Amino acid sequence: MRNYSILLLILLLFGCGRHAPQVDGQPQVVKCVTATSVDYLRRDFAALSTADDAVNLAFKISGRVVDIPVAKGVRVRKGQLLAELDKRDVELQVEASRAAYREAQSRLERAKRLLEHSAISAQEVESLENSLAQAQSAYENSLDLLADTRILAPFDGIVERTYVDAFQRVTSGETILRIVNPVSSTVGFTAPESVVTQLGLETTHFVVVFDAWPEVTFRAVIKSFARTSSDALGFPVSLRLVDVDTQLYNITPGMTCVATVITPESDRRAVLLPLTAIYAPIEGGEYVWVVGDDDRVYRRRVVLGSPSGADGVIVLDGVTSGDRVVVAGVYHLVEGERVKVLEN
């Protein structure tokens, strides 16, 4: 008998704790939005400004570094010396090739004078002309090698990184330092396959918002994008900012931003709702609460599409344009409950 009384008490407590529809009591206040049809779909991607000009610099010949007069973060001008090799061996080669070139010139001049007196054949003069051309080529090549002992800045920029130290021996083609253009008009991000197919369409538009200027929207156009991907991370995309006032907005490489891809929505049934309207109960599925003409809420199962913007989602089925949908407190409602609508 005692056990029966305890069981009855538990059932009564459970029954009292359930949330019954407030049919005649005070209606619950809910915030609603009116579902609207979607013409364009907005997809946001975390992005980063990248350098318009960036280059890794290396020597064309091997040797020992004698000087790197710049450091990381230093601003450099076009033509400024960035690194230099020990050039003593090359200078000796230049002197030797210069001497051989001058000697070939003298021989040819003597041969031409002898040819005027028929003391030498024309074939011998022609052979000396070929020798002079070879000596001149060797001399010019040695001068090029001498120039290759120095690395000069190809454009105005900032040294992003140095890879070697002074007095270190390096090989030809080994990266010595990297410089970048400090002004950026390029934004890069990674897009999924579903977006890549629409990047090249004329109906696709792009805007960028930087964290540094959250109230400013920059227009952009597609610069390049990869049509293949070697991993599962997505497809690299580059945008070029247009009509940027560089005096007012100093955009440099490495600045964080959000790139928005705006594409037409082909499904005419699709509507846009805030993410807060989606109700996902523990038993599974996605639902929304729709307020009927009788000011009662009714649960509808929905089919979700892509996210839109920072806090929106496209609903492909389950809601039609004009429906009043609850966007706050969706986990505190029950089927048929009377509500008081606070329009948003």
Question: Which CATH number belongs to the domain containing residue 94 in this structure?
Answer: 1.10.287.470
pLDDT at residue number 7: 34
Please identify, among 209, 232, 264, the residue that sits at the C-terminal boundary of a domain.
264
Question: pTM, whole model, 2 decimals?
Answer: 0.56
* 187 and 260 co-located in one domain: yes
pLDDT at 23: 46
Name every residue whose Cβ is closer than 8 Å to that of residue 305 and which is 6 or more positions away in sequence. Answer: 267, 270, 313, 314, 315, 316
Strand 256-264 versus strand 271-274 pairing type: unpaired
- Based on the domain organization, do 159 and 106 belong to the same domain? no
Specify whether 47 is located in the same domain as 192: yes
Lowest mean pLDDT across 24-28, 113-117, 119-123, 268-272: 24-28
Tokens found for residue 267 = 């499904």
Q: Is the pLDDT of residue 10 over 50?
A: no
Q: Above 70 in pLDDT, residue 131? A: yes
The answer to whether residues 300 and 319 touch, using CB atoms and an 8 Å cutoff, is: yes
218 and 260 in a single domain? The answer is yes
Categorize the per-residue pLDDT at 5 as very low, low, confident or very high, splitting at 50, 70 and 90: very low
Does residue 330 carry a pLDDT above 50? yes
Residues 193 and 259 in one domain: yes
> Residue 277 pLDDT more than 70?
yes
Query: Does residue 16 form part of some domain?
Result: no
Name the pLDDT band for 305 (thresholds 50, 70, 90).
confident
Band (pLDDT 50/70/90 cuts) for residue 212 is very high
User: Which residues touch 144 (CB under 8 Å, ≥6 apart)?
Assistant: none
| Each residue's pLDDT tens digit, 181-191 | 888 899 999 98
Assign 196 to helix, strand or coil: helix
| Residue 289 CB burial class (10 angstroms; 0-12, 13-18, ≥19) | buried
- Token pair 């995309």 in the structure block, residue: 237
Let me know whether 128 and 230 are in one domain: no
pLDDT at 88: 92
Q: How many domains are there within the chain? A: 4
